[in-house]
Every structure is written in C-alpha cells, then in structure tokens.
Chain A
Amino acid sequence: MTPPAPLLRDALEPWCAAGVTGALRLLENPGGTVYLSDGRIAYAECPAACGVERLLTASGRLPGEAWRAAANVGRNHHRIGAELVQSGLITQAEIEAAGVLALYDAAFFLFDLATPVQFEPGARQPVGQLCSFELRTVCQEVDRRKRFLAEAWHDPSSDTAAVLPHRRLRSQIVALTALQWEVVANADRRRSPVDLARLLGRDTYTVMLEVRRLVRAGLVEPGRPGGSAAAESLAAVRARAAEPPPVMARPAPAEEPPAMPARVRLAAETADSAEELPALPRREVKRQPASQAGQTAENWVPEHVLHRLINGIGAL
C-alpha cells in the first residue's frame, strides 16, 4: 500500500538535513516553491501569498518601474534585492524584513499541504538571499500563526469569501487599526482577503487575521466564496483537505513533541492534507529526497523524523 504524500514540512526535512541548495516545487494545486540555501529555508512563494515584489510595489513603498528596472538587471544573477538597495531606494533592513514576511506568509499556506513535490538542485530565488531560517523555526512560526488565527475567530470561511462590511452597525463607536480601515475601504463586496492583500501589498495572513477580527467584532461578514483564482484554489484545497480524516497524512503522529499538540488539530481544521486519488506520483517524489539523503526509500521518514524529534525534545 502506498503511503500518502508527506506534509511539505516533513518532505523538507531530509533536504534540510542534507544541507542542500535548491528549490522544492509543488506540482499540484495551489502550487508554490520553497527555496533552500545550505539546508536552511531562504524563501518561499505561493499564489495565495504576497511575495516581496507585491509587498513593496502594491503597498506604494516602491514604484513598479523601480522594481522592474532592478529585476531586468538583477533577475538572472539572483540579486534584485541587492540592486534595489544599491540604488538607494530601500534599505537592507527593509528588504530583509519584506523577505521574512513573504517567506512566513507563503510557508503558512504551504507547509501543511500534502502534495507531490519536485526538487530542483541549485535553483535560487531571483530576489536574492534576504534571510535564512532553520526549518524548525519556520514550522514554529507557522504553528503560531495558525493558533493566532484560530484564536482571533474560529470560522475559516471568511478567509476565502468576499468581505462584506455591514451597512449598519448596532454599536455606537468603532475603533479600527489602519489595516482594518484599508480592508473596509477597499472591500468592494467581491474581493476576498486574498485579493485585498494583493491589492494593498500586505501579507495575506495579516489581512485574513484582521478580517477574522472584524468578523468577531460584528463589522464584516463573509459573503460568497471565491473572488479570484487564487482565493478559489485556496478554498478548493482546504475543502479537499477537510474530506479525508487528516491524521492519516502525518507520518508519525504519535511522536509529536509535546510543545506542539495543536498541530494535528489545526492541520485538520484549516489546511491542507490534500488527498487525491492517484497516488503514484507521490511515491516517486518521496523516493527522490531519500536517495539524495543517502537512506533507503522505505523507512526514511520515521527514522528521520524520530531522530529530529528526539533532538528537539532533548533541546527542550
């Protein structure tokens, strides 16, 4: 029997442990890429998330032409960011911060997906090296974000549905954060949080978080699902993930470190163990990293995960 594809965060383990540089690309919906640099997570992108380009240009921080000019010069040398810093339009700290936000935003959507992946050795992100994190750090941040989002408001339907601000309010006074104001001001009764994030140049996670808070405050309600292709594909992936019992997608659920018990539950609630009928391509992909890491195809997941977990528990 073919085991189900591992979650992306588990699929990344052997690559990170082997200290490789390259890109892990998702082959199925919603698509996305995680870039590794010497075994550390250097960048990630996903259609639902906002990349560095959108964070900087759509927010008005940089004119679009400035980005395109830097991209023309720097794309092939993986140094768009360095070009921008050199031209004095932006500081190193700003571009690094944008890189971290873009990485976390994409990781939030990608890490609990169970889709086939393909590794491309040596591939690097065109924007250049802006930051790098241990896999464990990124996983912790993804888990924290999921928890934070669930605490803000339990219902995920507003994440991918059109944002409908209430036309009348029962309360007498309303206090909004600047981002909440931007969300309300730009909600045209069709745009979902994914679309609003792209429009505003904010990271999608933050917009989803603010929309959930607005829903809880009774200022906004989720309308029809969809709005854009990215939002629809995200909604479809989540719906698919909700169908099978999601625990089976975890390779070693019993070995969960005590610090993150919420992980399985949250994976079940929000994302993303996309289960599909054809199982063959997954098996292929699974074998690929194993041979790279120099282990047997049959047992690399449990051994490896167990090893990492024991180290992790020791470190705690």
Chain B
Amino acid sequence: MLGIGKCLDHLMALHGVLGASIIDYASGSTLGAAGRGPASHQESYSAGVTTMMHTTMKAAALATVGNPAHVEQIVITAGNGFHLLHPLAGGTQTRMMLYVWLDRGIGNLAVTQRRVNSIAAQFSVN
C-alpha cells in the first residue's frame, strides 16, 4: 500500500527524474511534491500544470479522433526536459494527477512512462 510520500519516492527513484508531484487539478492544489521544480516554485508550477491539463482536456473533448474523452497521459517535450502529466483514473472522485519532470539527456521517456503508469495504477484500488 503506497502512501503519498512513498508514491513520490518511487517516482523520484526513476532514472533522470528531476521532480515529481501529486496535484489536485480541480482546485490547483499540490497534495505532495518532491525533488526540484514543483517543490521550490510549487505555486507557479502547479498552476501552470493545472492550466495545461484543463487546456488539453478541453481540446480533447472537442476532438474527433480516437477516444478523446479518455486522456491517459500528456507529455510535453520542452527545452528543459519532458513533462509528464498523468491523470489518475478511478471512480468519480478522482481529479488528481501525477506530474513528473524528466531530464531530457539522462531520462528514458518510454521507460518512465511505463513506470509512471504502474505507480498510478497502485494509487487507487479500483
């Protein structure tokens, strides 16, 4: 059984991860943060990440390709690294996401994505 702190520890243990946090994107609150980035500029980061999430979800809602109602993960490739936004699936109560900041030089995006998936799956029992 993972608690929030353990969950963040697992994310931070992934190779090349610079920072990780759990964000409630409905209210924009950071529920837990570790590493660089979100921890030091928590407010502006989680606000930015939350906006990103809302924008993508809105765009997805109006898109016609595939099954846009379900966004599993958002990856932003930026100059300062990869940013992974992973909404946590689970009942109606869930509106939280994992956010991972990955170094572009050291980190392996595909491996990190799979690990983040499995950590997210352990977050909720349903």
Contacts and interface: CB of A to CB of B under 8 A. Distances in A.
Interface of A: 55-56, 59-61, 85, 88-94, 96-97, 100-101, 104, 131, 140-141, 144-145, 148, 173, 175, 177-179, 201-203, 205-206, 209-210
A43 to B, nearest CB: 14
A97 B31 contact: yes
A205 B27 contact: yes
Interface stretch (B12-20, B73-81, B103-111, B118-126): B118-126
Given A59-B93, A91-B125, A145 B2 contact: no
Contacts of A101: 24, 27, 29, 31
27 contacts: A59-B92, A60-B91, A85-B1, A89-B125, A91-B122, A91-B124, A91-B125, A92-B4, A92-B6, A93-B123, A94-B123, A97-B31, A97-B96, A100-B24, A140-B43, A144-B29, A145-B28, A148-B27, A148-B47, A175-B58, A177-B26, A177-B57, A178-B95, A179-B26, A202-B26, A205-B27, A209-B27
A101 B26 CA distance: 11
B56 to A, nearest CB: 12
A90 to B, nearest CB: 6
Interface of B is mostly: mixed
A97 B91 contact: no
B92 A97 contact: no
B62 to A, nearest CB: 6
Nearest to A105: B27
Contacts of A55: 93
Contact of B91 (A61, A140, A209): A61
Contact of B95 (A88, A145, A179): A179
B28 A144 contact: yes
Contacts of A94: 90, 123-125
A275 to B, nearest CB: 29
A148 B3 CA distance: 28
A104 B28 CA distance: 11
Interface of B: 1-4, 6-7, 22, 24, 26-29, 31-32, 43, 47, 54, 57-58, 61-62, 90-93, 95-96, 122-125
Contact of B4 (A59, A97, A145): A97
Given A94-B123, A97-B22, A177-B54, A148 B28 contact: yes
What are the 10 A-B residue pairs with the smallest beta carbon separation, nearest first? A59-B93, A92-B3, A61-B93, A206-B26, A92-B1, A206-B27, A96-B4, A100-B31, A93-B123, A93-B2
Interface of A is mostly: helix
Task: Choose among A56, A96, A175 the residue with the greatest number of B CB atoms under 10 Å from its CB.
Answer: A96
Contacts of A85: 1
A96 B65 CA distance: 36
B2 A91 contact: yes
A97 B1 contact: no
Contacts of B22: 97
A203 B123 contact: no
Contacts of A61: 91-93
A179 B57 CA distance: 13
Contacts of B7: 93
A100 B123 contact: no
Task: Choose among A89, A100, A145 the residue with the greatest number of B CB atoms under 10 Å from its CB.
Answer: A100
A96 B92 contact: no
A100 B27 CA distance: 12
